[in-house]
Amino acid sequence: MLEQRNDPSSTLPGDAHERERLGNVRPSEWRNPRPGAWYNLAVVGAGTAGLVAAHAAAALGAKVALIERNLLGGDCLNVGCVPSKAIIRTSRLYAEMRTAEQYGAQVPANIRVDFPSLMQRMRAIRARISRADSVHRLNEAGVDVFFGEARFTGGDALTVDGAKVRFKKALIATGARPDTPSIPGLVEAGYLTNESVFDLTELPRRLLFIGGGPLGCELAQAFCRFGARTIIAQKQPMFLPKEERDAAQILSDAFARDGIEVRLNTRAVKVRVENGQKLVDLVRDDYESTVAVDVIVTGTGRVPNVTGMNLEAAGVDYDVTSGVRVNDFLQTSNPRIYAAGDACLEHKFTHTADASARIVVQNALFLGRQRLSALTIPWCTYTDPAIAHVGLYVRSARAQDIPVKTFTIPMHDVDRAIADGEEDGFVKIHVKERTDQILGATIVARHAGDMINEITLAMVAGIGLRTLARIIHAYPTQAEAIKKAADAYNRTRLTPTIQSLLRRWLAW
Amino acid sequence: MSQDDCVMLERLQRAAFGYFLQAVNPANGLVADTSRENSPSSIAVVGFALAAYPVAVERGWMARAVAVERSLAALRFFHDSDQSGSPEATGHRGFYYHFLDLYTGVRVWRSELSMIDSALLIAGALTVSMYFSAQTADEVELRALVDALYRRMDWGWAQNSGTTISHGWKPECGFLRYSWEGYNEAIVLYVLALASPTHPIEADGYKAWTATYQWENLYGYEFLYAGPLFVHQFSHAWIDFRGIQDRFMREKRCDYFENSRRATEIQREYARRNPHRFAGYDEHCWGLTACDGPSNAMPILANQRHRLFGYAARGVPYGPDDGTLSGWAALASLPFAPEVALCAARNMGRLYPEMVSGQQYASSFNPTLAAADQRAWVSAGRFGLDQGIVVLMLENYRTGLIWRLMRDCPYIGTGLRRAGFRGGWL
């Protein structure tokens, strides 16, 4: 039976994998320890930011308390990156089976999607990865783990499960939760979010995704490839409005090939249930329509978890929409208390949560002055093809009056992409005009997430395209596209004057 | 250019102009969007028709008096049209609905009040007002009507309280939420908006639009990126961009005309690579642009395994691309790259003669979807925009007539200067 379940611990079925995961991230026999007299660092929230900070601080000798109200590992492990990537892998396999002819292979007869089996694989993977986040590892690392609701009682203390935890420094790493759109009838009809969609035990026949954000796109493509009729309805008039238009164009075509129906500039205005199906009224400009689906998944953004902790008592300013207010050093309005991850950041990614937590450990415990703004943050939407980005977009560079030039290599010019039958996409590297300084890059490719790391490395290390052109890339690889972009830059250095000099030199 | 080429161009240009004779409603000057049955009028096609009349007069295809009469019919219709903005009106605030009933001139298809199509209409109107400069009663009236139509356009309103110009407006839901993103055919729109003596926009509107430009190094060429070929042609039908530069082009040491030449070369490079392995594509067979095209919804193509896009803005190198090419688009690049455009026109005409009928180009053809007799799939009927761009671009290549007329149009000069253009003929 499908129903709205916003408690990730209610995952069904309770198989061995789930027992292993819960044994790692929320053991039923757990008893909170007696708090120490004080802690160097009290961490509220044990998602990515909280776990990274707790482990890093403990490894450096700090006394650390970690408080979690639900599951260790947070969204990423339990209801985000890990389970979604696991099912995306299976969905790619099904897509490749159906298009096997393109690879000179035979399409298997009777391709049957075994949804329970692929979800079981997802749970097995999630359980395995949960070992790294387990309460036992935290204990071994010397971290005191408390399960329960944290409430600040002042600027240097909080309570959890009736016990008082005193701290010299604290970190708020409470993450975010799905924002639920206020659509009449939605709650009554029932809906899923990214937190509950992984609880499905049967493949819905028809799904409507409300909101066309990255996670919604990833899941929509996966469910479509499992055989569900999938519709995405989003308010914004442009598909993936934050991405470069060409990237969105390529993905839009890929979605159309898969059979996903994308309805842009469209609002869901009413939901009702008739004959066991959900009827959703959609409005686009002056055009109204109704779609009948079995499951609605909302993905209209995420809101930070900032209430219920009595942050007022700690003197920590926050906003229910943008989260805990922090300065560039991730310090809140109470200088002893810091924040990291989704609770305070605009870019709500696991790797940003990780990086911000490391900044907090340095700044809070070791007088560090590391700045959030100094980070170079890549991100990737793991659709097929994937879209990865780092640094500035052309639009933002031009808005800052930075002259920018883009070196573009379509993947159809890359031998390995041709051999792999993965020619959809491009590498675009944006440089400051008349220099080789990389301002940013966008990659659309099957493995864009892996490829973007080379550009991030170059940007952080201050390596320009001129040097990248000297890096020997193993042949044939798809990452050779980056080398080709660097070669294209080098060719622009051959100005007519230099070409003329070269000709004269070679004429001797 | 060989004598054969001259003959070919004359033949194709005259046939393209013939569309405006076949598809016009002489009573109100409106011209059908396509030659298909029950086609409404497209206001942009009327703009192209207006600009084509001086060409026809110069070439002896149409008497001056007839051309003036045709122009006056259209201009009087628009001048006296219902501007209330009601769902059944013709326009609002000096702009017009994209599609109008060919006979009554009222809005059809619940179409939007279209800013770019209104701009193309008024560009055509300005062209005739520059050409018909005699002091006869008709030509004086013609010029007065054009000026009144231009002055009536409320460009500030079209910004919808923002800086850039909105795509359109509907009485049912107000302004559309789409905005111009990246380089496209809208330079002529901005030039006209900046030059308005009555409702001009500020220069920051042009700056805001050009801030979305992307300058790319692709296939060894550096150019201001836009995928579909028509984007690199439409504003050039009216404005001579040779040697004049705005701030962006000064920074890039290029101009929009040279940019269109490079865009033409990039089309060839793409077709030579032909990443999707469609039939026919090579360096002498290209032309991906906005056009009609095959669709999986067509019963005879329902079983096609690759996806077909119907009417779409096809482009390079990121698509959409379903193997559909436009012969007219390759030919309309003639002013920018005469050799390659002529070569493509000859080659495509020789290999796919079915895409030209009565010497008029079909909107598109698709050799991958060849029928049993090996003939390519061909779009049915003719589209007015395609015929219009052929008439204007061939004329610009042959005599530069439209460019010359518009260079002398004070509004165009003012708009270009306000957009930051300098140098060359300006």
Q: Do A426 and B170 touch (CB under 8 A)?
A: no
Topology at the third CATH level for domain B3-170+183-418? Glycosyltransferase (1.50.10)
Count helices and strands (H / E) in chain A: 17, 23
Instruction: Pick the residue from chain B with its C-alpha nearest to A246.
Output: B318
Q: Do A410 and B218 touch (CB under 8 A)?
A: yes
Q: Is A319 exposed, middle or buried (0-12, 13-18, 19+ CB in 10 A)?
A: exposed
Using a CB-CB cut-off of 8 Å, the residues of chain B touching A496 are: none
B318 Cα to chain A: minimum distance (Å): 6
Query: Tens digit of pLDDT for each residue in A257-290?
Result: 899 999 999 999 999 999 999 999 999 988 999 9
Q: Is B59 exposed, middle or buried (0-12, 13-18, 19+ CB in 10 A)?
A: middle
A393 touches chain B (CB under 8 A): no
- Average pLDDT on B363-376 reads 94
Instruction: Pick the residue from chain B with its C-alpha nearest to A283.
Output: B173
A399 Cα to chain B: minimum distance (Å): 6
Asked whether residue A226 carries a pLDDT value surpassing 70, the answer given is: yes
Q: Do B319 and A426 touch (CB under 8 A)?
A: no
A388 Cα to chain B: minimum distance (Å): 16
B163 touches chain A (CB under 8 A): no
CA–CA separation, A243 vs A61, rounded Å?
42
Asked whether residue A331 carries a pLDDT value surpassing 60, the answer given is: yes
Query: Tens digit of pLDDT for each residue in B122-141?
Result: 999 999 999 999 999 999 99
- Average pLDDT on B49-54 reads 98
Using a CB-CB cut-off of 8 Å, the residues of chain B touching A237 are: 176-178
**Nearest CB neighbour to B273, from listed A250, A406, A412:** A412
A403 touches chain B (CB under 8 A): yes
Q: Do A433 and B216 touch (CB under 8 A)?
A: no
Report whether A431 contacts A465 (CB < 8 A). yes
pLDDT confidence of residue B298: 80
Residue B182 confidence class, pLDDT cut points 50, 70, 90:
confident
**Nearest CB neighbour to A407, from listed B182, B217, B320:** B217
CA–CA separation, A173 vs A41, rounded Å?
12
Using a CB-CB cut-off of 8 Å, the residues of chain A touching B170 are: 285-286
Query: Tens digit of pLDDT for each residue in A193-203?
Result: 988 999 999 99
Asked whether residue A236 carries a pLDDT value surpassing 70, the answer given is: yes
Using a CB-CB cut-off of 8 Å, the residues of chain B touching A405 are: 215-217, 222
Query: Tens digit of pLDDT for each residue in B277-333?
Result: 999 999 999 999 999 999 988 877 777 777 899 999 999 999 899 999 999 999 999
A412 Cα to chain B: minimum distance (Å): 6
Question: Chains A and B: how many Cβ contacts under 8 Å?
Answer: 78
Instruction: Pick the residue from chain B with its C-alpha nearest to A235.
Output: B177
Average pLDDT, chain B: 96
Query: Tens digit of pLDDT for each residue in B7-24?
Result: 999 999 999 999 999 999
Average pLDDT, chain A: 94
B7 Cα to chain A: minimum distance (Å): 39
Instruction: Pick the residue from chain A with its C-alpha nearest to B174.
Output: A285
A397 Cα to chain B: minimum distance (Å): 9
Asked whether residue B49 carries a pLDDT value surpassing 50, the answer given is: yes
Between A388 and B296, whose confidence is greater?
A388
B408 touches chain A (CB under 8 A): no
Q: Show the tokens assigned to A226.
A: 């499992």
A101 touches chain B (CB under 8 A): no
pLDDT confidence of residue B371: 87
Query: Tens digit of pLDDT for each residue in A284-321?
Result: 988 999 999 999 999 878 999 999 999 999 999 999 99
A194 Cα to chain B: minimum distance (Å): 28
Report whether A299 contacts A213 (CB < 8 A). yes
Instruction: Pick the residue from chain B with its C-alpha nearest to A258.
Output: B307
Asked whether residue B367 carries a pLDDT value surpassing 50, the answer given is: yes
Q: CA-CA distances (angstroms) from residue B42 to A49, B304, B383? A: 58, 31, 10
- Write down all domains in chain A, each with its CATH number in brackets: 8-178+303-374 (3.50.50.60), 186-300 (3.50.50.60), 385-496 (3.30.390.30)
User: Which of A54-63, B298-307, B333-342 has the weakest average pLDDT?
Assistant: B298-307
CA–CA separation, B333 vs B345, rounded Å?
10
Q: Do A286 and B110 touch (CB under 8 A)?
A: yes
Count of beta carbons in the 10 Å neighbourhood of residue A365? 20
Query: Tens digit of pLDDT for each residue in A452-498?
Result: 999 999 999 999 999 999 999 999 999 999 999 999 999 998 888 88
Using a CB-CB cut-off of 8 Å, the residues of chain A touching B177 are: 237, 265, 285
Sign of the alpha-carbon dihedral angle for A388, A392, A398, A403: negative
Q: Do B214 and A238 touch (CB under 8 A)?
A: no
Residue A499 confidence class, pLDDT cut points 50, 70, 90:
confident
pLDDT confidence of residue B152: 98
B85 Cα to chain A: minimum distance (Å): 15
Between B177 and B148, whose confidence is greater?
B148
pLDDT confidence of residue A3: 35
A413 touches chain B (CB under 8 A): yes
A394 touches chain B (CB under 8 A): yes
Instruction: Pick the residue from chain B with its C-alpha nearest to A248.
Output: B318
**Nearest CB neighbour to A405, from listed B215, B220, B273:** B215
CA–CA separation, A404 vs A435, rounded Å?
9
pLDDT confidence of residue B359: 96
Work out the percent of chain A whose per-residue pLDDT is above 90: 87
B109 touches chain A (CB under 8 A): no
Instruction: Pick the residue from chain A with its C-alpha nearest to B248.
Output: A403
Pairing of strands B91-92, B41-42: unpaired
A231 Cα to chain B: minimum distance (Å): 18
CA–CA separation, B124 vs B53, rounded Å?
9
Using a CB-CB cut-off of 8 Å, the residues of chain A touching B175 are: none
Between B180 and B117, whose confidence is greater?
B117
- Average pLDDT on A97-120 reads 95
Asked whether residue B74 carries a pLDDT value surpassing 80, the answer given is: yes
CA–CA separation, B233 vs B283, rounded Å?
19
Asked whether residue B32 carries a pLDDT value surpassing 70, the answer given is: yes
Query: Where does B11-142 show beta strands of DSSP type E?
Result: 41-42, 91-92, 95-96, 99-100, 113-114
Residue linked to tokens 């779609």: A291
- Average pLDDT on A64-87 reads 95
Q: Do A423 and B275 touch (CB under 8 A)?
A: yes
Q: Do A408 and B217 touch (CB under 8 A)?
A: yes
- Average pLDDT on B377-384 reads 97
Q: Do B307 and A257 touch (CB under 8 A)?
A: yes
pLDDT confidence of residue B26: 97
In the stretch 284-343 of chain B, residues with CB closer than 8 A to chain A read 307, 317-320
Report whether B31 contacts B41 (CB < 8 A). yes
> Burial code of A121-149, b = ≥16 C-beta within 10 A, e = fewer?
bbbbbbbebbeebbbeebeeeebbbbbeb
- What pTM value is reported for the model? 0.94
Pairing of strands B215-218, A404-410: parallel
Q: Do A492 and B173 touch (CB under 8 A)?
A: no
A256 touches chain B (CB under 8 A): yes
| Range list of H helices, A268-349 | 311-314
A408 touches chain B (CB under 8 A): yes
